[in-house]
């Protein structure tokens, strides 16, 4: 029989339950990726850049195994069912995802596929523990991280599935060309000059290098802004070029891997929240009567990294330059926007989403709401003293110096509060919040 394997954000051949089952069942397997203009128009150019790498790499991996990747352009559901019709496929297999768009797509696939007698089946693979597999007593999903994490750790994780050595070919259909650079034109946000390259081969290399050493220092160093002491696997996980389960298993086996495994649990946590509350990107998860302000100038200064608060500007400029920002800087810049400027989290989240190569609905908006106090934080009134945070996590100012060259000549003691100097460096603006700099309470 013929099986369509609809690839979405699971662009790999390793530990891929849907691919594994398609190969086991089908004498013909049609791995399909649909370049959907509607999805692309909502994607960051930095992610489309990654996607192009990932598709090329995936096609190569399938070809070495005797198969191929079939590419189509158009509406995902329509193209999938059209391909099923042309190949006589009776089944579509895909990896289950959580966003509102993914849930809509799945409902349509089931409905329209049902009418065409095409069986649609979902498989795990986007998370370590499938979203909503764990539920608390008396609720449909976990609203607080710690109890979720405890249950998550106790749960027996599935075993990784073997990588197929052979993948049957898609048969006599045109496979379609890999998208050229013009695809970038369909997305939003700028393409960052230093954005990371992607694809399963690069991702696995990064994963192995991470597990071979640096993971051991993660607990002590992950908050150090200037150190490259985090995994940088966010985009690889976002596109499924690395299996979160394979990564979590390997990290759990590492004697000092616990702190890193916990971050993967955070990722699963936000995904199960999004599965249950797919409006996460637009609506307060926990409504609060916050009085938001419109501050066009403040928002522009924030976006462009010229707020006059060095740690904030460094983070925002890293984002534009690399399509990435250190987690601690994400927290501080998000707190600055929502708590100092009191601009609604949705605007900050949308800006991040237009630039982050690892931009992911669940993680991005889940974290924005967490910071804004409308999410799952058990201390929604938590406040950050930005100056203290800057001095603690960038003690000698190396992070600021890297991204804010106007301040490069200042010492570590001066760099985080240039407004205190008798003669602040020329070309760097005064802070847009209170002159003594943001306190954060
Ligand atoms: P590491 O520290 O090496 O962590 C490993 C992996 O664990 C990450 O790649 C990620 O998949 C997961 N992870 C780590 N921290 C978190 C977290 N707090 N929530 C969920 N998953 C986590 N992460 C995204 O993947 N996509 C986003 O769009 C995103 N937006 C964010 C927005 C804000 C305002 C904040 C505060 C955080 C956001 N994060 C997001 C979480 C975190 O900042 C990034 O996952 C991390 O910085 C990516 O770098 P890394 O891979 O080197 O992380």
With a 6 A CB cut-off, is 375 part of the ligand 1 pocket? no
d(CA 194, CA 204): 20
Which ligand 1 atom is nearest residue 236's CA? Answer: 9
pLDDT of residue 440: 46
Query: How far apart (Å, rounded) are the C-alpha atoms in residues 81 and 313?
Result: 47
Residue 220: partners with Cβ closer than 8 Å, 6 or more residues away: none
How far apart are alpha carbons 175 and 89 in whole angstroms? Answer: 16
Is there a binding annotation on residue 142? no
Q: What is the best residue among 367, 369, 384, 399 to mutate for testing ligand 1's pocket, by most ligand atoms within 8 Å of CB?
A: 367
377 band by pLDDT with thresholds 50, 70 and 90: confident
Residues 102-131 have pLDDT tens digits of: 999 999 999 999 999 999 999 999 999 999
* Residues 291-301 pLDDT 10s: 999 999 999 99
- The CATH architecture of the domain made up of 2-126 is 3-Layer(aba) Sandwich (3.40)
Q: How far apart are CA 88 and CA 233, in angstroms?
A: 38
Q: Positive or negative, the Cα torsion across 308, 311, 315, 317?
A: positive
Asked if residue 393 belongs to a known ligand binding site, the reply is: no
Was 218 annotated as part of a binding site? yes
352 lines ligand 1 (CB under 6 A): yes
222 lines ligand 1 (CB under 6 A): yes
Tell me whether residue 396 is annotated as binding. no
Q: What is the pLDDT of residues 337-375, one digit of tens each?
A: 999 999 999 999 999 999 999 999 999 999 999 999 999
pLDDT at 437 over 80: no
Q: Which residues contact 106 (CB under 8 A, 6 or more apart)?
A: 94, 96, 97, 120, 122
The whole-model pTM stands at 0.97
Q: Is the CB of 351 under 6 A from ligand 1?
A: no
pLDDT of residue 379: 86
Please state which CATH class domain 127-159+201-276 belongs to. Answer: mainly alpha
Taking alpha carbons only, the member of 2, 7, 41 closest to residue 25 is 2
Percentage of the chain lying above the pLDDT 90 cut: 94
296-420: CATH class? mainly alpha
**How do the domains of the chain map onto residue ranges?**
2-126, 127-159+201-276, 296-420
Q: How far, in Å, CA of 232 to CA of 323, rounded?
A: 11
Please enumerate in sequence order all residues whose Cβ is within 8 A of that of 369, keeping only pairs 6 or more positions apart, or say none. Answer: 280, 284, 285, 286, 345, 375, 376
> Does residue 262 have its Cβ closer than 6 Å to ligand 1?
no
The pLDDT of residue 438 is above 80: no
The verdict on the CB of residue 225 being under 6 Å from ligand 1 is no
Query: Does residue 260 have a known ligand-binding role?
Result: yes
Distances (CA, A) of 66 to 31, 170, 413: 12, 9, 60
Do the first three CATH levels of 127-159+201-276 and 296-420 match, i.e. the same topology?
Answer: no
Judged against a pLDDT cut of 70, whether residue 435 lies above it is answered with: no
Ligand 1 within 6 A of CB of 227: no
Q: Which of 327, 356, 357 to mutate to test the pocket of ligand 1 (most atoms within 8 A of CB)?
A: 327
Q: Is the ipTM of this complex over 0.95?
A: yes
Q: What is the pLDDT of residues 217-269, one digit of tens each?
A: 999 999 999 998 999 999 999 999 999 999 999 999 999 999 999 999 999 99
What average pLDDT does the segment 304-330 reach? Answer: 98
């Amino acid at each position: 029989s013929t099986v369509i394997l609809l690839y979405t954000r699971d662009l790999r051949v390793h530990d891929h339950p849907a691919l594994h089952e398609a190969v086991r069942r089908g004498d013909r397997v049609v791995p399909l990726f649909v370049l959907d203009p509607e999805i692309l128009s909502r994607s960051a150019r930095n992610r489309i850049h990654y996607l192009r790498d990932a598709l090329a790499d995936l096609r190569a991996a399938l070809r070495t195994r005797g198969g191929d990747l079939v590419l189509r352009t158009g509406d995902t559901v329509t193209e999938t069912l059209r391909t099923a019709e042309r190949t006589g496929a009776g089944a579509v297999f895909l990896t289950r995802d959580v966003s509102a768009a993914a849930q809509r797509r799945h409902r349509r696939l089931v409905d329209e596929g049902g009418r065409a007698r095409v069986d649609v089946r979902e498989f795990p693979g986007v998370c370590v523990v499938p979203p909503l597999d764990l539920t608390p007593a008396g609720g449909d999903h976990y609203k607080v991280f710690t109890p979720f994490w405890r249950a998550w750790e106790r749960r027996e994780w599935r075993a990784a599935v073997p990588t197929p050595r052979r993948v049957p070919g898609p048969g006599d259909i045109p496979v379609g060309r890999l998208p050229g650079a013009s695809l970038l034109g369909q997305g939003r946000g700028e393409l960052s000059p230093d954005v990371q390259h992607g694809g399963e081969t690069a991702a696995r290399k990064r994963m192995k290098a991470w597990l071979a050493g640096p993971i051991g220092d993660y607990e002590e160093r992950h908050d150090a802004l200037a150190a490259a002491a985090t995994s940088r696997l966010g985009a690889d996980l976002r596109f499924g070029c690395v299996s979160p389960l394979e990564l979590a298993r390997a990290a759990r086996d590492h004697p000092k891997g616990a702190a890193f495994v916990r971050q993967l649990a955070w990722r699963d946590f936000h995904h199960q929240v999004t599965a249950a509350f797919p409006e996460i990107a637009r609506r307060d998860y926990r409504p609060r009567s916050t009085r938001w302000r419109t501050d066009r100038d403040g928002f522009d200064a924030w976006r462009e990294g010229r707020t006059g608060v060095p740690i904030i500007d460094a983070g925002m400029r890293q984002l534009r330059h690399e399509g990435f920002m250190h987690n601690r800087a994400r927290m501080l810049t998000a707190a600055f926007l929502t708590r100092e400027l009191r601009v609604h989290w949705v605007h900050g989240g949308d800006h991040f989403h237009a630039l982050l190569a690892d931009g992911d609905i669940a993680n991005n908006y889940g974290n924005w709401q967490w910071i804004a106090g409308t999410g799952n934080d058990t201390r929604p009134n938590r406040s950050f003293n930005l100056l203290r945070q800057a001095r603690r996590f960038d003690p000698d100012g190396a992070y600021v110096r890297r991204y804010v060259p106007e301040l490069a000549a200042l010492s570590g003691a001066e760099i985080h509060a240039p407004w205190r100097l008798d003669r602040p460096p020329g070309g760097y603006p005064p802070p847009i919040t209170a002159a003594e700099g943001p306190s954060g309470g």
